[in-house]
């Protein structure tokens, strides 16, 4: 292997190796993505992302989504979860028309292409101004279900990444504590790591029932896991 006089890999060689590694990773990811059965299924069924089948499996197991509910979808873009929720609340089998039984509010930092019957709010959920806008849309109503597929940009530094994940879970928990109905439900995306146990404990402080969910659509290599919390311990007048 080529080195300079000090025995250190030459800069050009290092850059070449990094580029080759990245290219191999991208090629592998693209191959896996194209051949992913959930990707193909999403394309056939008109969903914007394979992530829809994670929610679908959890919903079918736990019966989260019911007509007449008020549902908030955090981290909604590109919109597959919102699409699924809308389809479940649709008034008619013709999903393109007829409206829905319920209310769906979607929020994301990134722009989302419109979905009929869904109110979309673009902004950073961590900012008070954005939260205030969401509160204004909800008004005096309490929410039946809060869905959060939010995830931070991971740096690869375990301690820093878990702190970011915990912060996002805390935000969703705080919103749920203030806005969920007494018998409401919160579903958040999390990741296994050094702070996972602490996040579970925070859920148990707020909810009577807490359970992890690892749907089949979550890739085997991923540490992704979803946490389900049902029925708040505090009564509405205590909030």
Annotated binding-site residues for S-adenosyl-L-methionine read: 79, 81, 108, 124, 149
189 catalytic, yes or no?
yes
- Residue 62 token pair: 């736990």
> Residues near 227 by Cβ (< 8 Å), separated by ≥ 6?
169, 187, 188, 190, 199, 200, 203, 210, 211, 212, 213
Using DSSP's 3-state secondary structure scheme, residue 55 falls into: helix
- Residue 168 token pair: 């996002």
- Kindly report the backbone phi and psi dihedral angles of residue 176, in degrees, each rounded to the nearest multiple of 5, phi listed first: -65, -40
Which of the following is catalytic: 54, 189, 214, 216? 189
- Residue 190 token pair: 């999390």
Q: d(Cα 150, Cα 123) in Å, to the nearest integer?
A: 13
Taking the CB of residue 210, how many other CB atoms lie within 10 A of it? 18
Q: d(Cα 87, Cα 75) in Å, to the nearest integer?
A: 19
DSSP tag of 141? P
Any idea which residues carry the catalytic annotation? 189
């Amino acid at each position: 292997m080529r080195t300079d006089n000090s025995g250190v890999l030459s800069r050009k060689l290092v850059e070449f190796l990094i580029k080759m590694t990245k290219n191999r990773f991208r090629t592998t990811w693209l191959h896996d993505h194209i051949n992913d059965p959930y990707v193909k299924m999403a394309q056939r069924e008109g969903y914007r992302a394979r992530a829809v089948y994670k929610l679908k499996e959890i919903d079918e197991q736990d019966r989260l989504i019911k007509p007449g509910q008020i549902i908030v979808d955090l981290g909604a873009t590109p919109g597959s979860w919102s699409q699924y929720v809308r389809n479940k609340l649709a008034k008619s089998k013709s999903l393109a028309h007829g409206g829905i039984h319920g209310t769906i509010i979607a929020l994301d930092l990134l722009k989302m292409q419109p979905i009929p019957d869904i109110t979309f709010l673009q902004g950073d959920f961590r900012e008070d101004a954005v939260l205030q806008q969401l509160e204004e849309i909800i008004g005096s109503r309490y929410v039946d279900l809060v869905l959060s597929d939010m995830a931070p940009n991971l740096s690869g530094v375990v301690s820093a990444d878990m702190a970011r994940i915990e912060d996002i879970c805390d935000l969703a928990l705080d919103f749920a504590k203030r806005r969920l109905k007494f018998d409401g439900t919160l579903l958040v995306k999390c990741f296994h790591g050094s702070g996972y146990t602490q996040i579970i404990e925070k859920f148990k402080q707020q909810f009577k029932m807490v359970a992890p969910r690892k749907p089949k659509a979550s890739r085997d290599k991923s540490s992704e896991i979803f946490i389900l919390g049902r029925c708040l311990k505090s009564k509405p007048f205590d909030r």
